[in-house]
Amino acid sequence: MTIDRESETPDTLGGVGELAALKRIFPRLPSAAAELIGPGDDSAVLATPDKRVVITTDMMIHGPDFRMAWSSPYDLGWKAAATNLSDVAAMGAVPTGLVVAIAAPNDTPVSSLEAIADGLREGCESLAPGSGVIGGDLSVSTVLTIVITAFGDLEGRAPVLRSGARVGDVIAVSGTLGLAAEGLRLLFTEGVVDGEPDAAAAATLATQHPDAIAAQLRPAPPIADGKAAALGGATSMLDLSDGLAIDARRIATASGVGLDLSSEAVGGRVQLDGGEDHSLLATFPEGATLPAGFRAIGRVVEGEGLLVDGVAYTERGGWDPYAGWDGAAG
Amino acid sequence: MTIDRESETPDTLGGVGELAALKRIFPRLPSAAAELIGPGDDSAVLATPDKRVVITTDMMIHGPDFRMAWSSPYDLGWKAAATNLSDVAAMGAVPTGLVVAIAAPNDTPVSSLEAIADGLREGCESLAPGSGVIGGDLSVSTVLTIVITAFGDLEGRAPVLRSGARVGDVIAVSGTLGLAAEGLRLLFTEGVVDGEPDAAAAATLATQHPDAIAAQLRPAPPIADGKAAALGGATSMLDLSDGLAIDARRIATASGVGLDLSSEAVGGRVQLDGGEDHSLLATFPEGATLPAGFRAIGRVVEGEGLLVDGVAYTERGGWDPYAGWDGAAG
């Protein structure tokens, strides 16, 4: 048999190499309005007219963070953008730029990288218009790994921290509660065949529960509401990544107060414990008009930790990557 | 046999969990003079008095980028800092901050993470005093992965790009040429037992060839010379990551000129093709006084690509992560 090197290495990263892959990915990436020097030099240069820049970084790793049978490459690009943009928004900032580091197996089709770029582009354009990718790194690993660092502009405002909640403040949220976790629960229970993640089962699920599956695989957090909250006088804010219970406790601890949630306003357990909504949890001064998008769900009280209807809520809930991952990928 | 859960999960990431690990890592990280808001909120905030920020990102992945038998965790932290700081310096900027994303296997000792933090701290303090870690992310993966995004201040200067070399300019370099590659060659030939990376063999090598092994495992690129080059009028600059031949061609292509190197000034093949020196290659106007640290190695000429002693040099050389990695780790 004649060895045909071309057909041995079809259109994969290992087949075409780093430079050829980058040439196909670059044109698909969104450009940033604040980009002064973009990809192609040793570093990028981003405009920061405010003399400060908001910076956050987050990894998405095949196995603990996503399954290939459930998430398309497009979904991965979108979600990586969304989760990082949300951390910028949670400071009251407007997202401006991202750098993207991707390590992928040698046999990854270049088309998968193109689809990740498409998801990044449409995620940025849809959730944070004007933001874009200003640089990155492409490398090889046996585990598909996407690492985004995102940047934002405070436009002269003070950053909204976790530590500013005051007794009497209204607790409010913009975005879904528990919907992304409901999507994940559905995928793990009904998106499997013989216990293994299954693409066809997930596709069926997505037609039956489009909102929950989309909230998990292609979230659309309320990025613009971060700036709106800051302009509306928010005293504290964060992005709900690990669930309302855990994240509300973070504001309580940082601010030295208690957060008392209304069970009627919140809903049930999945709304309290479910992670990955990337909704914005904020506190506003008593009597303030809540910005459009925010709804009141409780009150800041004296004391510490989380309460529900005035009673301490101490259940753990939430996600720790080391305790929470059983090692499966798929 | 009684199952002792404590001894099953000794002092590893999986045993102590994310939060406890972070509590031990944070105090070891260097703080940045330009940090306005540090780790602990959704995002960090970095001062950028220049109204611009220089940004670069780079991944280090177990297997293609390092071997655990050769690199200590401390070395990994140091090298991750050094390579990213160098990309900031190559723009003529002063490094200010870094964010660090690390994904590690569940069974990674927490002490390894502490040693990575120690390497990051001492690397920053030694190579770029005032710079520090302002944020990060810690997650789980079967492949140890370190991703740094680094930031720099142009202090009112124009960034030094790859595209500014002009015919007649002097080509100069600060730092070693080929020494890191010589270290890697020694490790692959003499730092192995039965073809596998071996810690004891590498330790012996390090006593015999301290400079070459250090250049590979714990590089000390001339970070401050980036600013010095910019102040000295450098017309183009980059960081020598893939070898002098490949990187000189990048300046030639970006600037639309030819780069003619002197074989006498450069040395031999390993100096031309050897990567990972993270030395600074720059061009300066004819007659300019080269900043201390830089030595002349050639001249910018009309034409294109790379020449050596006036003759076109077209050999490929260098490193592509997809073509260059055989899949081994160790």
Q: Residue B141 is nearest to which of A36, A87, A145, comparing CB atoms?
A: A145
Annotated binding site of B for ATP: 136-137, 162, 241
Min Cα–Cα distance to chain A from B270, Å = 23
Q: What is the rounded CA–CA span in Å between residue A180 and residue A81?
A: 16
CB contact under 8 A, B51 and A54: no
Q: DSSP class of residue B28?
A: G
User: For residue A163, what is the nearest residue in chain B, using CA coordinates?
Assistant: B41
Q: At what angle do helices B224-231 and B73-89 cross, to 10 degrees?
A: 10
Angle between helices B210-217 and B179-190 (to 10 degrees): 100
Question: What is the value of ipTM here, to two decimals?
Answer: 0.94
Could you read off the pLDDT of B63-117 as tens digits, one per residue?
999 999 999 999 999 999 999 999 999 999 999 999 999 999 999 999 999 999 9
3-class DSSP state of B214:
helix
| Alpha-carbon torsion angle B235, B236, B240, B242, nearest 10 | -150
pLDDT 10s per residue in chain B (330 long)? Answer: 333 444 455 699 999 988 899 999 999 999 999 999 999 999 999 999 999 999 999 999 999 999 999 999 999 999 999 999 999 999 999 999 999 999 999 999 999 999 999 999 999 999 999 999 999 999 999 999 999 999 999 999 999 999 999 999 999 999 999 999 999 999 999 999 999 999 999 999 999 999 999 999 999 999 999 999 999 999 999 999 999 999 999 999 999 999 999 999 999 888 999 999 999 999 999 999 999 999 999 999 999 999 999 999 988 765 566 666 677 777
Tell me, yes or no, if B87 comes closer than 8 A to chain A by beta carbon. Answer: yes
Interior/surface letters B285-301, b for 16+ CB within 10 angstroms, e for the rest: eeeeebbebbeebbbbb
Per-position pLDDT tens, chain A of length 330? 333 444 455 699 999 988 899 999 999 999 999 999 999 999 999 999 999 999 999 999 999 999 999 999 999 999 999 999 999 999 999 999 999 999 999 999 999 999 999 999 999 999 999 999 999 999 999 999 999 999 999 999 999 999 999 999 999 999 999 999 999 999 999 999 999 999 999 999 999 999 999 999 999 999 999 999 999 999 999 999 999 999 999 999 999 999 999 999 999 888 999 999 999 999 999 999 999 999 999 999 999 999 999 999 988 765 566 666 677 777
- Residue of A89, A80, A96 whose CA lies nearest to A133: A96
Answer for the pair A78, A218: CB distance below 8 angstroms, yes or no.
Answer: yes
Amino acid A323: pLDDT: 62
Round the average pLDDT of chain B to a whole number and report it: 94
> Does B83 reach chain A within 8 Å, measured CB to CB?
no
Does the beta carbon of B220 lie under 8 angstroms from any beta carbon of chain A?
no
Q: How many CA atoms lie within 13 A of B44 on its CB side?
A: 28
Contact B325 A106 (CB under 8 A): yes
User: Closest chain B residue to A142 measured between Cα atoms?
Assistant: B143
Q: What domains appear along chain A, each with residue ranges and CATH number?
A: 10-153 (3.30.1330.10), 170-175+221-317 (3.90.650.10)
Q: What is the pLDDT of residue B324?
A: 65
Buried b (16+ CB within 10 A) or exposed e, A190-200: ebbeeeebbee
Gap between the Cα atoms of B82 and B77, Å rounded: 9
Query: Residue A319: which residues within 8 A CB-CB, separation 6 or more?
Result: A242, A243, A275
To 10 degrees, what angle do helices A210-217 and A199-208 make? 120
Distance of CA B245 to the CA centre of its chain: 18
Contact A37, A43 (CB under 8 A): yes
Q: Nearest C-alpha of chain A: how many angstroms from B208?
A: 32
Q: What residue in B sits closest to A21 (Cα-Cα)?
A: B322
For chain B, what percent of residues have pLDDT higher than 90? 89
Candidate from A53, A57, A143 with C-beta closest to B136: A57
- Grouping H, G, I as helix, E, B as strand and the rest as coil, residue B211 is helix
Q: Is A61's Cβ below 8 Å from some Cβ in B?
A: yes
Residue A146 CB coordination number (10 Å): 25
- pLDDT at position B269: 83
Report which DSSP code applies to B139. Answer: E
Give the pLDDT confidence of A1-48 residue by residue, as tens digits.
Answer: 333 444 455 699 999 988 899 999 999 999 999 999 999 999 999 999
- What is the model's pLDDT at position B19? 86
